[in-house]
Amino acid sequence: DEFISSPPRKTVRFGGTLTEILLKYEKGETTDFELLKHQLSDPDIKDAQIINWLHEFRASVAYLTKELEQLVSILLKLPWLRRSREVVEEYLGFLGNLVSAQTVHLRPCLRMIVSQFVPPRITIREDDVDISDSDDDDENLSENFNTCHRALQTVARYVPSTPQFLMPILVENFPFINKSERTLECYVHNLLRVTVYLPTLRLQILELIIEKLLKLDVSAPQQDIEDAEETANNSDSEEKVTEEGLFDMEEDEERRGNKVVSSRNERMAHPLAERLDILMTILFSYIKDVCHVDGKLDINKTKDLYRDLVSIFDKLILPTHASCHVQYFMFYICSFKLGLAEAFLDHLWKKLHDPNNPSVIRQTAGSYIGSFLARAKFIPVVTVKACLDLLVNWMHKYIDNQDTGANAYCDVALHGPFYSTCQAVFYTLIFRHKQLLDGNLRKGLSYLQSLNFERIVMCQLNPLKICIPSVVNLFAAITRKYQLVFCYTIIERNNRQFIPVVRSGTGGDLVQTCTNPLDSFFPFDPYILKRSKKTIDPFYQFWEELSAEDLENLKKPIKKGTSEDEDDDFLKGETPQNDGAVGIAPNSYESNTRSPVSSIGSPPDSYVPYPP
């Protein structure tokens, strides 16, 4: 306040007072006006000159009508951010005066502020070629961003309608996904800061960011990321071998070398995956910061953010097929409190069983339920059982309605949501069967028998024919071990009925078998972005490769007498011979029948020979 009320320092300049110049311009005398524009555009303009001009402009904002937008444009291009504190304060005062007196200049002011949300461009000359890049080494970058947010808050305080004018400008200025990682990082970080003091824009800003993340995600398929990492690792190991051959490094040099390698290991080899990794890290940090106050979870703030994220999930994520990483923002926020995870499962369940939803949305909801139940460590067994009860009861009712009708045959187009639900249940059982049976085997078996998998597997709709083979084979091995249902006769019959598709091409005929008629994917397959995965891993259930002992156990059915229902007709039936070997591929890369969409880290295909 003292500074603003103090008179400006006098500097040498030409053309009279600002008011005189502007009045002359209105009468058609443009000489002094052109001189004024030239002085303001001078790249070597001094701080004292800027302060002097701004002080006069603040007193003359009434003259800065739409007709003088060219002059206002020059004022908005003044290099005020990287100047002294006095210039910054005077400029912020000028912006407040300008937008409150002449709202016609609101948009240009907002554009100027938002354009500063990324590092400034600098031109580097290399071999007589100008290369433009962002100036990442600007020491004052963080301070400049703080000042930009002060400017935006100043404008918003004077013009309450600022948010509705700001949002389209934020969309327009979002950098292209091939811009430098630093540019994208700064812009997204600044957008999220805007949501703190303009909360009405939070939903739209989050939607904008997640939409851009989704574009990055689908442009970097998981297999491409894995291939890039493998290539980079191979070239790194080749470099190491060469270095070892050429030099005998001293111990301290080796230590230094290892440090460099470890920091390089943080980077993703795939350029789009690197950008996505950085931005997902920022998004996870934002979610954590919003939901926690002084390190403690704030339930109301968390619920509000959850509602915003669920609406974005419905609008953007659910209709997008086979995104790999972005959907984990829902996984992460649900990890904060069981109630949120249950609310998310309930939300997905409503999507799944509502016949008014498109079939593809219902199927995707089924995939999310199965993957979430299988992978989220924070979901207890009691919740898993409640969800299985809900899903299995719906499946039995569906079979009741279909088995007697004209559509009681295997057809993905007719029964997609049913098959997706079956796969979700089978997938959940594969991951959770040990926990379901843990503690009290008799009680656990009784529960699994009550789900009546035999009826589901044997029904006319034949879900084993449609679900992904890797899931079907492990489900079959587990249910045989616990004598819940014997799937192998059906699997064998389905395999005989598969009609290979012959496609002619330039390289000759290609015989293909459709192994994923549902075109399904597991949305919470392993997260492979190096930095941001550290946030997810503590809550994530990894697939544990089956040991030799597990394989042996899978071949052995449980002993008679462990089930309460000794008179069950199915249990009296002949158990399969156990002299066959169970082969499980070491991982799903080697699975020759995996989904066209990679299901890395999902249960690998298992081949179980059928009993004679």
**pLDDT tens-digit series, residues 32-69:** 888 888 888 888 889 898 998 899 898 888 888 888 88
What phi and psi, each to the nearest 5 degrees, are found at residue 523? Answer: -65, -25
* pLDDT, greater one: 316 or 5: 316
Residue 596: inside a domain, yes or no? no
Q: Where are the beta strands (DSSP E) in 468-590?
A: 501-505, 508-512, 583-584
Residue 295 — left, alpha, or beta (φ > 0 → left; ψ -120 to 50 → alpha)? left
CA–CA distance, 379 with 373 (Å, rounded to integer): 7
CA–CA distance, 258 with 255 (Å, rounded to integer): 5
Q: Which residue has the tokens 């995707």?
A: 364
User: What is the helix (H) or strand (E) element at residue 121, kind and residue range?
Assistant: strand 121-126
* Per-residue tokens: 472: 């079907």
pLDDT at 139 over 80: no
* pLDDT, greater one: 602 or 570: 602
Pick from 30-34, 82-86, 172-176, 246-250 the range whose average pLDDT is largest: 172-176
Q: What is the pLDDT of residue 183?
A: 94
Contacting residues for 604 by C-beta, under 8 A, at least 6 apart: 470, 584, 585, 586, 587, 588, 590, 591
CA–CA distance, 92 with 87 (Å, rounded to integer): 9
CA–CA distance, 551 with 326 (Å, rounded to integer): 35
pLDDT band at residue 8 under the 50/70/90 scheme: low
Q: For the segment 71-121, what is each residue's pLDDT rounded down to a tens digit?
A: 999 999 988 988 889 999 999 999 999 999 988 999 999 999 999 999 987
**C-alpha 1: how far from its chain's center?**
46
Asked whether the beta carbons of 355 and 415 are under 8 A apart, the reply is: no
- For the chain, give the percent of residues with pLDDT over 90: 50
Q: What is the pLDDT of residue 187?
A: 96
* Per-residue tokens: 35: 């001189």
Residue 44: inside a domain, yes or no? yes
CA–CA distance, 34 with 63 (Å, rounded to integer): 16
Final residue before a domain boundary, out of 161, 191, 216 = 161
Q: What is the pLDDT of residue 564?
A: 38
Q: Residue 532: count other Cβ atoms within 10 Å of its Cβ.
A: 23
Contacting residues for 277 by C-beta, under 8 A, at least 6 apart: 268, 529, 530, 531, 532
* pLDDT, greater one: 202 or 22: 202
Final residue before a domain boundary, out of 474, 490, 525 = 525
* pLDDT, greater one: 327 or 606: 327
425-458 in b/e form (b: 16+ CB < 10 A) is bbbbbbbbbeebbeeeeeebbeebbebebbebbb
Which amino acid appears at position 138 of this protein? D
Residue 586: inside a domain, yes or no? no
CA–CA distance, 541 with 506 (Å, rounded to integer): 44
| Planar angle of CA 563, 566, 568, nearest 5 degrees | 105
Q: What is the pLDDT of residue 264?
A: 61
Q: Which residues pair with 468 in a beta bridge?
A: none
Q: Which residues pair with 509 in a beta bridge?
A: 504
- For the chain, give the percent of residues with pLDDT over 70: 75
CA–CA distance, 62 with 504 (Å, rounded to integer): 76
Mean residue pLDDT across the chain: 81
User: What is the helix (H) or strand (E) element at residue 606, kind and residue range?
Assistant: strand 606-607
Q: What is the CA radius of gyration of the chain?
A: 32
Asked whether the beta carbons of 76 and 41 are under 8 A apart, the reply is: no
CA–CA distance, 209 with 548 (Å, rounded to integer): 46
Q: Which residues pair with 130 in a beta bridge?
A: 125
CA–CA distance, 198 with 187 (Å, rounded to integer): 16
Contacting residues for 214 by C-beta, under 8 A, at least 6 apart: 316, 317, 320, 323, 326
Residue 560: inside a domain, yes or no? no
Q: Which residues pair with 512 in a beta bridge?
A: 501
pLDDT band at residue 163 under the 50/70/90 scheme: very high
| Planar angle of CA 405, 409, 414, nearest 5 degrees | 85
Sign of CA dihedral 502, 503, 505, 507: negative
Contacting residues for 83 by C-beta, under 8 A, at least 6 apart: 47, 50
Q: What is the pLDDT of residue 63?
A: 85
Orientation of helix 359-375 relative to helix 412-437, angle to 10°: 10
pLDDT at 11 over 70: no
Final residue before a domain boundary, out of 106, 129, 161 = 161
Closest CA to 232 of 267, 260, 181, 281: 267
Q: For the segment 498-533, what is each residue's pLDDT rounded down to a tens digit?
A: 655 555 555 555 555 556 677 778 999 999 999 999
DSSP 378: T
pLDDT at 561 over 60: no
pLDDT band at residue 265 under the 50/70/90 scheme: confident
Q: How many domains are there within the chain?
A: 2
CB under 8 Å, gap of 24 or more: what pairs does 347-352 form? 347/310, 348/372, 349/387, 349/390, 349/391, 351/314, 351/318, 352/417, 352/420, 352/421
pLDDT at 356 over 70: yes
CA–CA distance, 474 with 427 (Å, rounded to integer): 9
Residue 215: inside a domain, yes or no? no
Q: Which DSSP string corresponds to 213-237?
A: HHHHHHHS-HHHHHHHHHHHHHHHH
* Per-residue tokens: 162: 């600022």
Q: Which residues pair with 125 in a beta bridge?
A: 130
Residue 148: inside a domain, yes or no? yes
* Per-residue tokens: 600: 């890395």
Closest CA to 110 of 155, 171, 50, 71: 155
Q: What is the pLDDT of residue 549?
A: 63
Q: For the segment 294-327, what is each residue's pLDDT rounded down to a tens digit?
A: 999 999 999 999 999 999 999 999 999 879 999 9
User: What is the helix (H) or strand (E) element at residue 273, kind and residue range?
Assistant: helix 271-291
pLDDT band at residue 1 under the 50/70/90 scheme: low
Residue 348: inside a domain, yes or no? no
pLDDT band at residue 28 under the 50/70/90 scheme: confident
pTM: 0.82
Residue 208: inside a domain, yes or no? no
pLDDT at 604 over 60: no
Closest CA to 551 of 574, 585, 520: 585
Lowest mean pLDDT among 21-30, 372-381, 556-565: 556-565
CA–CA distance, 301 with 451 (Å, rounded to integer): 39
- Across the range 552-575, mean pLDDT stands at 45
Contacting residues for 347 by C-beta, under 8 A, at least 6 apart: 310
Q: What residues make up the domain containing 58?
A: 1-121+139-161
Q: What is the pLDDT of residue 127?
A: 56
pLDDT band at residue 451 under the 50/70/90 scheme: very high
Q: Which residues pair with 593 in a beta bridge?
A: none
